[in-house]
């Protein structure tokens, strides 16, 4: 009799996968707009609108193009905040489905099923997949690339390699740092089942397809001297002399962030499962580990300003290797006990403990009050309490939607101005202009524009916020009237609406 564990029919697992996909969609879409729109979400959606306003290639210059282009295709001028987040959820569905397929192809449907379940429940992925950000979309397409790479090493037909190359291109289009996933076809060579010569041919073909697809984009970026990785603005650095400083600063922050999202219990389980997976399946595990180590390593080495969402693309691969190790340990335990059906006991126990103690409370809080979420300090600052958050901004937009019935022009000098603009209803009488701002203050061109509009129209409205230094100091204008104020978390950076009728600011010097 074979020692291979009994596997349920494919149709049984397909039904479970469909149920899990529906659960994913339900958990992500329910109360989707509870958390206000974050600064970068508004930026992506504004650039999606620019596709229709004479800047169709600007998204390529940002290095974050796929999700905004999809939003642009769906006409992002009505309901843009909801539309942008739905696009990310849809790409997440693709990622979840192919993660199941990767787990199935590397081991069994059991690993695919457990991976999908853990993915749905992971607080880190739950949080970021409900925002119009691009990081999780990159990992979803990277997962597709891994799946097609596995398939092309087991099926010699050329179109699997072409699909892998396409997947890599879409990964890079999602976010340019997806270049760190380019070794996928090479690493997949070691888990192939076709002859070695065929494996190398498939890997080369996948990379050639990627190169052909990526060449026009890379040529365009080079021709305009674009900086999609943010080196010129100090977001990243490749200076080797400060490499150790960046790594020593970033790694502890990364570890604390993962502890906040996963909890110590799950991190310990992940380490144990990883060891089990590596011992039992070294090459398969190596393929997954590379998709964790390479992107995270690049972030740790280059990030001058570490935004913790950069870590979220590693989570699906962490979950995959955790599921692989847990199922293998569970099956080993079942063999020892001579009860094959008990393979599920260990994975189920781990999943239930984690769901009850970490995942379910996080998700319930996110639906009820995102401001109360137990986020890492960096994420709490960025999305809840600081000026890039949408708190106060959303309330200001709601006020304008309710109270303003006559046409007005408003200049937004709050840094998250575009979120307010996107929250305005399609037939709003408010024309909200969001100029480029220097967060450090001054902004003489904006001041000059305000003065010119006051001179021409007699008055102008301004959306601002308490900030030191202010982007534009409203106190320097005579005749200012505060119309409304909207508090933020911790009582700082209050959002305010002013009506200005005169100014005593001296003319700006040339």
**pLDDT digit string, tens, across residues 205-250:** 999 999 999 999 999 999 999 888 777 777 788 888 889 999 999 9
Q: Round to whole Å and give the CA distance between 409 and 460.
A: 6
Question: What are the two backbone dihedrals, phi and then psi, of residue 430, each rounded to the nearest 5 degrees?
Answer: -90, 125
The answer for residues whose C-beta is within 8 angstroms of residue 292's C-beta and 6 or more apart is 314, 317, 318, 321
pLDDT at 14 over 90: no
Burial of 4 (0-12, 13-18, 19+ CB in 10 A): exposed
For residues 446, 447, 452 and 458, what is the CA-based torsion angle, rounded to 10 degrees? 120
**Local confidence band at 11 (pLDDT 50, 70, 90 cut-offs):** low
Looking at every residue in the chain, the average pLDDT score rounds to 93
| pTM of the model as a whole | 0.93
Q: Which helix (H) or strand (E) holds 176?
A: none
The predicted structure's pLDDT at residue 13:
59
Angle of helix 345-354 relative to helix 109-121, nearest 10 degrees, comes to 10
**Local confidence band at 167 (pLDDT 50, 70, 90 cut-offs):** very high
**CB distance 470 to 441 below 8 Å:** yes
**Nearest CA-CA partner of 393 in 437, 432, 445, 440:** 432
CA of 384: how far to CAs of 125, 392, 421, in Å?
Answer: 17, 10, 19
pLDDT at 3 over 60: no
Q: How many CB atoms lie within 10 A of CB 253?
A: 17
Q: Round to whole Å and give the CA distance between 411 and 453.
A: 10
Domains in the chain: ranges and CATH:
11-378 (no CATH), 393-500 (3.40.190)
pLDDT at 510 over 50: no
3-state secondary structure of 451: helix
pLDDT at 313 over 50: yes
Q: Output 506 or 23, whichever has higher pLDDT.
A: 23
Q: Round to whole Å and give the CA distance between 486 and 484.
A: 7
Q: Round to whole Å and give the CA distance between 391 and 385.
A: 8
**Local confidence band at 10 (pLDDT 50, 70, 90 cut-offs):** low
Q: What is the arithmetic mean of pLDDT over 471-477?
A: 91
The predicted structure's pLDDT at residue 5:
43
């Amino acid at each position: 009799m074979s020692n291979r564990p009994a596997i349920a029919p494919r149709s049984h697992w397909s039904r479970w996968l469909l149920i899990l996909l529906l659960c994913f969609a339900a958990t992500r879409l329910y109360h989707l707009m509870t958390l206000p729109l974050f600064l970068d979400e508004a930026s992506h959606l504004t650039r999606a609108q620019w596709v229709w306003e004479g800047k169709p290639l600007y998204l390529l210059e940002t290095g974050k193009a796929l999700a905004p282009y999809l939003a642009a295709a769906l006409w992002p001028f009505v309901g843009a905040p909801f539309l942008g987040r739905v696009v990310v959820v849809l790409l997440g569905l693709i990622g979840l489905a192919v993660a199941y397929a990767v787990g199935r192809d590397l081991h069994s449907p059991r690993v695919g099923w457990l991976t999908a379940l853990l993915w749905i429940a992971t607080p880190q992925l739950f949080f970021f997949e409900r925002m119009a950000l691009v990081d999780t979309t990159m990992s979803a397409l990277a997962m597709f690339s891994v799946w097609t790479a596995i398939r092309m090493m087991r099926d010699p037909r050329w179109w699997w390699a072409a699909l892998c190359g396409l997947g890599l291109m879409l990964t890079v289009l999602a976010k340019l740092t997806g270049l760190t996933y380019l070794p996928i076809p090479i690493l997949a060579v070691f888990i192939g089942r076709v002859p070695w010569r065929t494996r190398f041919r498939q890997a080369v073909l996948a990379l050639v397809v990627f190169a052909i697809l990526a060449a026009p984009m890379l040529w365009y970026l080079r021709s305009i001297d674009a900086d999609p990785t943010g080196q010129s603005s100090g977001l990243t650095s490749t200076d080797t002399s400060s490499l150790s400083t960046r790594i020593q600063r970033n790694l502890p922050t990364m570890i604390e962030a993962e502890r906040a999202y996963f909890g110590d219990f799950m991190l310990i389980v992940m380490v144990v499962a990883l060891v089990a997976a590596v011992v039992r399946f070294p090459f398969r595990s190596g393929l997954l580990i590379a998709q964790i180590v390479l992107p995270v390593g690049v972030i740790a080495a280059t990030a001058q300003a570490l935004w913790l969402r950069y870590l979220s693309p590693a989570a699906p691969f962490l979950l995959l290797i955790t599921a692989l190790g847990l199922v293998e340990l569970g099956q080993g335990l079942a063999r020892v006990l001579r009860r094959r059906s008990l393979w599920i006991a260990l994975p189920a126990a781990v999943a239930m403990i984690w769901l009850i103690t970490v995942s379910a409370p996080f998700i319930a809080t996110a639906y009820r009050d995102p401001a109360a979420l137990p986020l890492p300090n960096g994420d709490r600052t960025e999305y809840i309490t600081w000026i890039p958050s949408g708190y106060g901004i959303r309330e200001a937009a709601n006020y304008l939607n309710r109270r303003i019935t006559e046409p007005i022009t408003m200049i937004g000098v709050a840094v998250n101005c575009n979120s307010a603009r996107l929250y305005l209803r399609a037939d709003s009488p408010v024309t909200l202009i969001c100029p480029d701002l220097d967060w450090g203050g001054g902004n003489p061109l904006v001041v000059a524009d305000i003065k010119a509009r006051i001179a021409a129209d007699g008055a102008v409205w301004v959306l601002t916020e308490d900030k030191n230094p202010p982007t534009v100091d409203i106190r320097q204008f005579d005749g200012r009237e505060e119309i409304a104020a909207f508090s933020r978390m911790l009582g700082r950076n209050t959002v305010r609406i002013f009506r200005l009728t005169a100014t005593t600011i001296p003319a700006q010097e040339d």
